[in-house]
Amino acid sequence: MLAKNKKFTEKGMRHCRCRFSDLDINMQEVFLSMGYRGASPEEEILSLVNKVYAETADICKPQYIYEIYPANRIDADSIEIAGKKFITGKIITRYLVGMEKCCVFVATAGKEYEAYKKQLRGKGDFPEEFIADAIGSVTAEACVTRISEELAETADGICTYPYSPGYCNWKLSEQSLLFSLLPDTPCGVTLTESCLMTPIKSTSGIMGIGMNIKQKVYACHICDDKNCYKRKEI
């Protein structure tokens, strides 16, 4: 079901402030982010996970924003979105064959969640801070899932999976170019000089849209980043 409080800006961008309870938080993804590949934490750790999750539900104010632009694949390494050229690299670009439009997005767990993480650190609750870090990452990704669900209902064409700068050989430095297609500080998210996002539990990226797109799952076996927490293959 689409978010009831979705808003549209003057430029036609979709902006949603949603409740944490509205998101589909996949606990297996949380465990994966914590380093548990194909297993669940022991009972003591699981108790802490449940505690942090409950506190997250009380304070977290996630939100996301996105816009759809004309787009096309230029060659094996690059694409064009709204007249701007992005060097996405061979791994990502191969999945954008047939793209006619592109959804550019930013999603975040919010500044309140970052403050909560800092509070845990200040108290020396390092195991809980570690768990909060994992839940925050999955929260931002759950917002992206909401975007995918909305596009599945409204987009004129087939949508790819999301792809983000900093992964699959797409340089993080192109984050600033991506942000130029959205309002200043979208969802309160800013970029550092090194193109990292603040609040830290935020994500950005693109999803290709087109009638001739062939939606394919992530091909982690062809990527050489063995430490990527998003890795789907062990």
What tens digit of pLDDT does each residue of 146-181 get? 999 999 998 889 999 999 999 888 999 999 999 999
- How far apart, in Å, are the Cα atoms of 194 and each of 164, 177, 197? 15, 13, 9
pLDDT at 230: 53
Owning domain of residue 34: 6-214
Residue 87 CA to residue 223 CA, distance in Å, equals 17
Q: Is residue 144 assigned to a domain?
A: yes
pTM above 0.95, yes or no: no
Q: Using an 8 Å Cβ cutoff, are 95 and 216 in contact?
A: yes
Q: Report which of residues 39 and 179 the model is more confident about.
A: 179
Q: Is residue 221 assigned to a domain?
A: no
| Token duo for residue 223 | 């990527």
Q: Is residue 228 assigned to a domain?
A: no
* Mean pLDDT confidence for 193-207: 95
CATH number at residue 111: 3.40.109.40
Residue 13 — pLDDT band, cuts 50, 70, 90?
confident
Q: Is residue 225 assigned to a domain?
A: no
Residue 197 CA to residue 161 CA, distance in Å, equals 21
Residue 136 CA to residue 125 CA, distance in Å, equals 16
Residue 64 CA to residue 188 CA, distance in Å, equals 10
pLDDT tens digits, residue range 84-109? Answer: 999 999 999 999 999 999 999 999 99
Residue 153 CA to residue 178 CA, distance in Å, equals 24
Q: Is residue 219 assigned to a domain?
A: no
Q: Is residue 230 assigned to a domain?
A: no
Q: Is residue 166 assigned to a domain?
A: yes
Structural domains counted in the chain: 1
Mean pLDDT of the chain: 88
Inform me whether the pLDDT recorded for 70 exceeds 50: yes
